[in-house]
Structure 1
Amino acid sequence: MAFAVPVWLAVQEELLAQNEADYGASSCFDTFDDEALFQLFHLSRPCILFIADAVRIRMKDAAPKKSQLPVDEMVMVALNYYAHGVSTTAVLQKAGLRQTECPTTVVGTISGVIAGMSDVFISFPLTLDARTNVALKIEKFCGIPNVLGVLAPAHFKIRASPYEKDAFRSFINALGYTSVVSQIICDCDGNILSVEKCCVGGTFEQEMWDSSFKGREMQEDLHSPFWLIGGKGYHLSKHVLTPVSLPANNNEIRFNEAHAKILDVMQTTLDSMKRRFRLSMMHWCRKTY
């Protein structure tokens, strides 16, 4: 199960809001006004057209099957499914599909194309200048210097089979519901810098961090001399700053306040992503990890 698709789409809105390009060519989205587009896809028109163009470019060399929908209509079906977790009647009718038809093949095809582009749009700052710029923005935001981003687990609800008792228990997270969990790093603007792992919901944050690529890179000082902000589920370490458990003076109290301020950015980012892409709120899990 991969979450690159909704995460990748979520980080594009800020970029696209500043670039109202004239796309010219007609598409299946033209018959919807802006309000209808947002209700159906939870995205703005420039964002939708950008995605459709990007997918079309990636798929232009693929030999289409006779039964395959035009690329724009495939994108329309997929984005609608991401937004609501089901296909709405208006979109199925627009694509010429019946309510009883399952769009999973279309959604799977588009998801594969978009996921293949995720590393272009989700990237960790690799140069010293890039890392320094991110750290300066975070310091200006919360007052903590030399911080590259916020580290947190992102839980996505699933329906795990209760008949496989051992597997079922492994999916139950600390909040008491079944989920899978990914590791996410974002900056102070909510831009996603890294997405890794897809583990059962009962996986501890520290365990996931220790086994992650980014965790090993930080431990090997590939991104020194910077920190990541982590919650109470992480251990205080050379590269992860956690809150002071029992603040004993004003400096520690102020640090915890600054820590909570930047950590809240991650929660806001995840909440926004899950509201926009209802598909990320619930999945049926048929296999164990």
Structure 2
Amino acid sequence: MAAAMHIILQRRNEQRKPPRPRVFRDRCNPLDGLTDVEFIARYRLPKESIIDLLEMVRNDIRRPTSRSNAIPEITQMLIFLRYLATGDFQSECADLHGVSQPTVSRIISTVVSALDARLKNIIFPSTNEDIICMKTKFFSLAKFPGVIGALDGTLIPILAPKEDEYAFVCRKGYHALNVQGVVDTSLRFTNLVCKWPGSVHASFIFNECKLHDVLREGNIGWLVGDSGYPLKKFLMTPKLNPKTEAEERYNRAHAQTRVVDERAFGVLKSRFRCLHKTGGCLPFSPEKCVRVISVAVKLHNLCISRKIPYTAPECISTTEHEEENIVVQDIQADRGGSLQRQRLIQLFA
């Protein structure tokens, strides 16, 4: 009996596959062991772009210490990018990278401040060459002339602040920041206003921003925006209750031109899930939330510039974004805006 059991066990051992050798990664260099595709899926950026960002802010995030080994700068950068990409609890990011939750919180503060100060790629066209190029690209979308940007806004959920809490409650009933953006045809943000509480209306934000004064004084073209914005000589809105075929065609061309802003916000929130409500909310003070949103937009522009493939699990649909942000209002238009829109309508006759 014993001999038979010995033979059976021996055969089982012979049939058993040899164990896979364990792979010990170099924790000092976390870039090893993953491909660019895997890095983009986890951190939204390939290795080369992450290294470029790291070199940009390395001196700002380095922690001089003689007590023990400080967390490497590359690990700090990956922790921050992972939080932006997934919107996970900070404890999840901590477990993934072998640090504590308070350490993750400090790293986010350090890296976001450094990137916000160093990365400057939100640029509105200012030269005649850039303006003409922008108008040509927008005209190719739906034959709508003179457009230099698409204007829209979105709500970014945040944790209820300790001061002036009521001012941050948006019309949807949650605490948020109301963010205004202008984008071009490639979904790149050319202007960003990120400082107003969720209760502030989009038209007020636009009237108070610096771009409003630049467009009013420059006479370089116009933006296209939804009916939640006031009609101005430099901001074209849809024609409410169109009655002629020309007005119908104007509205269709306007919608096809303006949709790039809705798509840009959708891709931004889907690429960096911490900005979308499915990721919960930004658990920081309003001032820190502003920096996180600003850096997310700058990294989005970086992805557009470098043509980094978009590999997030799913994109926020345009319809969802539109329902979230558009509040149609019959806002009284100025005379210059009405005359300019009527001239454009005649072009579609």
Q: Is the 8 A contact 1:227 1:241 kept in 2?
A: yes
Q: Counterpart of 1:175?
A: 172
In structure 2, the residue matched to 1:225 is: 220
Residues 1:273 and 2:273 aligned together: no
Give the match for residue 143 of structure 1. Answer: 143
Greater share of residues in strand:
1
Q: Which amino acid aligns with 2:108?
A: V
Q: SS at 2:154's partner residue? A: strand
Structure 1 residue 89, shift from structure 2 partner: 7.5
Question: Residue 218 of structure 1: SS of its match in structure 2?
Answer: helix
Q: 1:70 aligns with which of 53, 69, 72?
A: 72
Taking the TM superposition and a 5 Å limit, the aligned residue runs for 1:1-289 are 27-56=29-58, 59=60, 64-66=64-66, 68-86=70-88, 92=94, 95-98=97-100, 100-119=101-120, 121-160=121-160, 167-221=164-218, 224-281=219-276, 282-284=281-283, 286=285
The superposition leaves residues 131-158 of structure 1 with CA deviations (integer Å, 9 ceiling, x where unpaired) of: 1101110011121111110111121012
CA distance in 1 between counterparts of 2:151 and 2:182 reads 5
Unaligned runs of 5+ in 2: 1-27, 291-349
Letter in 1 for 2:194: K
2:193 and 2:42 map into 1 onto residues whose CA distance is 29
1:155 to 1:94, Cα distance in 2 relative to 1, 3 A: closer
1:111 & 1:30 partners in 2: Cα distance?
24
- Aligned AA for 1:82? L
Q: Do the aligned residues in 2 keep the contact of 1:181 with 1:198 (CA within 8 Å)? A: yes
Task: Report the alpha carbon displacement of residue 126 of structure 1 after superposing the two structures with TM.
Answer: 1.1
Larger Rg: 2
Tell me, in whole angstroms, the C-alpha distance in 1 between the residues paired with 2:92 and 2:42: 9
Deviation for aligned residue 1:217: 1.4
CA contact (8 A) 1:77 1:87 kept: no
Q: Which runs of 5+ in 1 are unaligned?
A: 1-25
Alignment check: 8 A CA contact 1:80 1:87 kept: no
Stretch deviating more after TM superposition (190-199 or 46-55): 46-55
Compare 170-179 and 70-79 and name the one that shifted more.
170-179
Identity, % of aligned pairs?
21
Deviations, residues 142-201 of structure 1 (Å, cap 9, x unaligned): 21111110111121012326x97xx44422323343211122110111011011231111
Q: 1:216 to 1:68 in 2, by over 3 A?
A: farther
2:145 counterpart SS class: coil
Provide Cα deviations, 1:38-89, integer angstroms capped at 9, x if missing partner: 3321333343333223333x549x6734464221111111111111223677
Higher helix share: 2
TM-score (norm 1): 0.78
The answer as to whether partners of 1:122 and 1:194 remain within 8 angstroms in 2 is yes
RMSD between superposed Cα atoms in Å: 2.7
